[in-house]
Amino acid sequence: MESHKIIMTPEQMGRTLERLAFEVLERHGPDSPLALIGVQRRGAELAQRLTLVFSERLGRTVPLGKLDINLYRDDWTKLSVQPSLEQTDIPFDIRDLNIILVDDVLFTGRTVRAALEAILDYGRPRKVEFLALIDRGGRELPIQADYVGKRVSVPKAGRVDVFVAERDGQDKVLLTGADDQSLQLPLI
């Protein structure tokens, strides 16, 4: 039987997103031409929340887009089920912007690779940085996040599930392992 461990409560998610927003603002300053693009599905909701913090702190609207990377995946022909296609909506010109790409979980790096390829179809931004709520390790590609909410060690058979109120009715992050012992790994 699979066991679950809550690794982030709603309050912790809120504080973590606010901290991440401040890290971005500290690095870029108030006049930086910032825009956020959230990876569908839950990265889009997290990006929406971050833009609210940015807009409040900067006194201006920060452009927000959402990106479906399913057609850019390098494994779509090997999948046993068809991927669920979501909408891509980038309603602004990305040229010369500092793009913050937002996703819920960083694992192998393949989603980020696909997202970068998709973004370049819209133009050439000044810079792209990556923000992940959770970094669970296990990279297959040389990709790292510029901003990380929390790093956790997860066994290969384990899973990190991010739930957001907008889509799931509640905020939380769960670590699901193959057995109770695998959930005892130290959090980094």
Please write the tens of the pLDDT for every residue from 2-55. Answer: 688 999 999 999 999 999 999 999 999 999 999 999 999 899 999 999 999 999
135 - beta bridge partners? Answer: 106, 151
Confidence (pLDDT) at 87? 86
The residue among 132, 136, 116, 113 whose CA lies nearest residue 124 is 116
Domain ranges of the chain: 12-152
Question: Hey, which residues does 102 pair with through a beta bridge?
Answer: 38, 131
Confidence (pTM): 0.89
- Would you state the pLDDT for residue 80? 55
Report the CATH number of the 12-152 domain: 3.40.50.2020
CB count, 10 Å around CB of 43? 27
Q: What does the pLDDT look like over 85-122, one tens digit per residue? A: 678 999 999 999 999 999 999 999 999 999 999 999 99
pLDDT for position 179:
55
Q: What six digits make up the tokens of 76?
A: 């779509």
Strand order across the 172-177 sheet: 3-8, 172-177, 159-163
Instruction: For residues 127 and 182, give the distance between their C-alpha atoms in angstroms, rounded to a whole number.
Output: 38
pLDDT of residue 167: 94
Q: Which helix (H) or strand (E) holds 45?
A: helix 42-58
